[in-house]
A and B are shown apart, each in its own frame.
Chain A
Amino acid sequence: MISFHKLGYTYGGPPVLSDISTQIHEGELVGIIGPSGSGKTTMLRILLGELSATVGEIRYARGSQVSIGYVPQLDAGERTFPITVEETVLLGAAGESRRRPWFDKSERRRALAILERLDILSFANVRLNELSGGQFQRVLIGRALMSRPTLLVLDEPTSGIDLKTRSQVLGLLKELQNDGFTVVLTTHDLNWVAAQLPRVLCLNRTIIADGAPVDVITSEVVTKTYGLKMDVLIHNGQPVVVDSLERN
């Protein structure tokens, strides 16, 4: 679906990203992990078209129509905006909607169907600041779905929400993957990613490792990615990252 070819980026100083070469296939659920400043957000911004790679390029598979639905990090500014849940979801269609102030009946029906799919229909006429963190995250996903995406891009979707909600959001993303969406997300939550996602990409300015968590999340890779000695245990067949005994 999408290929990164020797992609690099610099904001003027040392490169933030260099020699990024990987592929994202249709229907995949991929997590990009790495510490702060590792280039995760820059990679997403290039994928979104906000930035142009200074070296290399992104290629799209012949004949594939990639449209992106973007879910940003939870932002207090967005949440205090005086707007209802239904209006927020409808905004996902603003780019393709007819040029008049109201949305068509078909667009409103689609928005309500998305709210029902995300189990937040009863909040349609509620203001965003009255929602819990998990409900708000679902609204942002709903807005992205409203843009009719083939690729969902989520920036730190589990940041700032509780454990139960985190599990629900991940469950929802897996359901969306099963529905045929391609999903790319960033996270700094190693264990959550290691335990749950089918594929992870460890990034620290360049790709350190790429593959299934059980193959990729090793003490060596994690130490190289985060620059900090950490141990990896296997629990129920899944890797769990813990503080290194050597460090303690």
Chain B
Amino acid sequence: MSYFLDPFEYDFFLRALMVSSLIGALAGVTGPFVLVRRMAYIGQGMSQSILGGVAVGVSLGVDLYLGAVISAALSAMLIYWIRNKGLPVDTAIGIVASVFFAVGVAIVSSSRDRRLNSANLLFGNVLGVQIEDIVVVTVVSVIAAVFLFVNYKSLLAATHNPSVAAAHGVKARFMEIIFNALLATVVVTALQTLGVLLVAATLLIPAATATMTFKSFSKIICWSAFLGFSFAVIGLFISFHRNIASGPAIVLVGSSVFALNMLAGAGAQTTLRRGHPS
């Protein structure tokens, strides 16, 4: 029992738990849309691009989140611009993300500013969660929850087939823009907990686990949010007791459940085949 109670003797743990669980649920509820829109690479690219913005922002004395938001927006515009020049989108993402990431690493490696700790930025540091981080994550979570509550059906229709959705009265283009903005916001707010390298995994692992288990998309969304929340909470306890960074702990918990789920699924299919030789 003390395994679960001891961490609460420290104020930072409660703050970390609040932020991580909210981010976990937020990434979980956004993840299935990222998965079916085949945007995994965009999520990864966007999160890597943020490092450059954060590094430039902090070294100029600007707020960390402002630097992250500006770099996310700038990278999205550059990707769009390069793609319109005729290069494939994955090439555009690869180039832009690598350049922004390289700028970030270059500044971090030469800076003596304690806020630019490379391990914290890359893999997350919940020990450094401040009250303002909790406010930012809570506000983003409430906005995302309201948006998804009100627009779930329209967003799902626009994701399934935007042309059909538009013909049937859904503002498909608007849904596309708002969802991309939401994704960028989730990636930015997850920076403190997960670090720039592990955000994409947190978007995808709960969603992929739920997708393999359930047939209905509404169930996938609910379970993905629950799994994202659970992975974050369990990962944070392990991070505390094993003294490892929070981001890797959360991702390793999620990936273990994903692997077990896959093995269980494969086992069930084998049993089914043995029972029905035809």
Contact = CB atoms under 8 A, between A and B. Distances in A.
Nearest to A143: B164
B interface secondary structure, majority = helix
Contacts of B163: 48, 50, 70, 72
B160 A91 contact: yes
Interface of B: 32, 36, 148-154, 156-157, 160-161, 163-170, 211, 214-218, 220
A129 to B, nearest CB: 10
A152 B220 CA distance: 31
14 contacts: A50-B163, A70-B168, A78-B161, A82-B217, A82-B220, A91-B168, A94-B156, A95-B168, A99-B151, A100-B152, A101-B148, A102-B218, A143-B164, A147-B168
Nearest to B220: A82
Contact of B218 (A92, A101, A125): A101
Given A81-B36, A103-B153, A147-B169, A87 B217 contact: yes
Interface band, chain A:
35 or more
A92 B153 CA distance: 10
A154 B244 CA distance: 56
Q: Which of A91, A127, A147 has the most CB of B within 10 A?
A: A91
B157 A70 contact: no
Nearest to B221: A101
A83 interface: yes
Interface string A148-181: 0000010000000000000000000000000000
A95 B157 contact: yes
Nearest to B150: A99
A78 B160 contact: yes
A48 B216 contact: no
A97 B157 CA distance: 12
A75 B211 CA distance: 20
B217 A94 contact: no
Nearest to A90: B153
Q: Which of A81, A84, A95, A126 has the most CB of B within 10 A?
A: A95
A69 interface: yes
A68 interface: yes
Contacts of B151: 99
Shortest Cβ-Cβ A-B pairs, 4 listed: A95-B169, A70-B167, A94-B157, A101-B152
A246 interface: no
